[in-house]
Amino acid sequence: MPLLLLLLALLLPAAPEATPSALLGINYGRVGNNLPPTTSALQLLAGLGVGRVRLYDADPATLRSFANTGVELVVGVPDECLAAVSTPSGASSWVRSVIQPALPATKIAVLTVGNEVLTGANSSALTPSLLPAMQCIHDALVQLGLDKQVAVTTAHNLGVLATSYPPSSAYFRKDLLPVLCPILNFHARTGSPFLVNAYPYFAYAEDPAGVELEYALLEPGHGGVPDPSSGLRYPNMLVAQVDAVYHAIAAANRAAARAVEVRVSETGWPSAGDGNETGATPRNAARYNGNVMRLVGEGKGTPLRPDGALRVYMFALFNENMKPGPLSERNYGLFKPDGTPVYELSYRLPKDNATTSSGAGGTGSIAGSGGGPQNNGYYSISASSAKANVGWWTCAAVLLMMIAF
């Protein structure tokens, strides 16, 4: 059966190559019970001109929906799967049953093993499995000849840093170094990027008196903040956070620092929040996300790494009504579940930001009214069967196959 699946995959047409300047992606979370089908989400992506998408699980139906679209995917291995894929047999079963059948029709470029594992609520239980899972999944890809096509990494919360200001003084938490240093060696050896979820919103919300709103919103007119040690001037907080990670990597593992690229796997700004969530407004969210699109669209790097264009995944495509936590957690989306925009976002992405060659590079603008696809039944959608734990079945499938073999 695996041989048959491989033969079928090889017969499928390859998706178009991504353009070099397609640097902006978006997170497509599905923690909601009123979200539209992926086919409708694809139309919104085409309208935005976004050709890179991050998924938090490897649901086969979702992966099939992206087949032959040219959209490049970052696919998540959910936290609850880490133990199952931290052994060679478990990782091999998962890759062969979930990832290999989707290729090459679905463009899977990166696998993220867990999300914010080192700083999450279950860090003590999950951390021992993180690097073994990354290594075993990479080895499984090597065995199938897919390691040059699919990279393996994990996404970190900015909380892995002990300090981030000024960027040149940043370093990782000492208690995490025994885990992070081998992970950095893994990135340097395999060529995979170091992913960080970076949110200037949190810094502003925690200290609105000490953090200038325009600096946190990436406003191009802000004069910038100097780093007294390096002499570099930071025009906005996002690039300062990225360079703080670069400095922390250099402080922990100087050899890896020369080889490892930092990418932003999540960034965004909520359009609504609880009474104590300062700055969570539609206007601020529109300004921030528009400025992220502008910043990435310029194709520039950071003050520390000016020659390497910054890669960013915005959070998120939809408001997700089943996410736990404060109100802001359910209000990061560019779109409401019915496909209407949450706020007006007028910045236009360059047409070549899309990775497809079929006209998906649209205007990249969201209008306050009339935005989104028209006359396709999209606005009539009121509910779907999306569930919060859509990725769990893949872990169960691995365990069942391990028992069978």
> What DSSP designation does 389 have?
T
> What does the pLDDT read at residue 382?
22
Q: Which residues contact 91 (CB under 8 A, 6 or more apart)?
A: 85, 133, 136, 137, 139, 140
The residue range of the domain holding 149 is 24-351+393-400
Is 248 contained in some domain?
yes
Residue 12 lies in a domain: no
Residue 357: per-residue pLDDT: 37
Number of domains in the chain: 1
> Model pTM?
0.84
b or e along 206-228 (b: 16 or more beta carbons within 10 Å of the residue's beta carbon)?
eeeeebebbbbbbeeebeebebe
Residue 298 lies in a domain: yes
Residue 1 lies in a domain: no
In this structure, is residue 292 part of a structural domain?
A: yes
Flag whether 371 is in a domain: no
pLDDT given for residue 399 in this prediction: 52
Query: Does the annotation count 266 as an active-site position?
Result: yes
pLDDT one-digit tens code per residue, 261-308? 999 999 999 999 999 999 999 999 999 999 999 999 999 999 999 999
Low-confidence ranges of the chain (pLDDT < 50): 1-21, 356-365, 367-393, 402-405
At residue 352, the pLDDT reads: 56
pLDDT tens for 329-369 read: 999 999 999 999 999 886 766 655 555 433 333 344 454 43
- The SS3 assignment for 283 reads helix
Query: What is the predicted pLDDT for the residue at 9?
Result: 33
CATH number for the domain that contains residue 299: 3.20.20.80
Residue 214 annotated among the catalytic residues of the structure: no
Structure tokens at 60: 């086969």
In a domain, 263, yes or no: yes
CB atoms within 10 A of CB 113: 28
User: One of 116, 212, 320, 329 is an active-site residue; which one?
Assistant: 116
DSSP, collapsed to helix, strand or coil, labels residue 172 as: strand
Q: Which residue out of 206, 261, 266, 277 is catalytically annotated?
A: 266
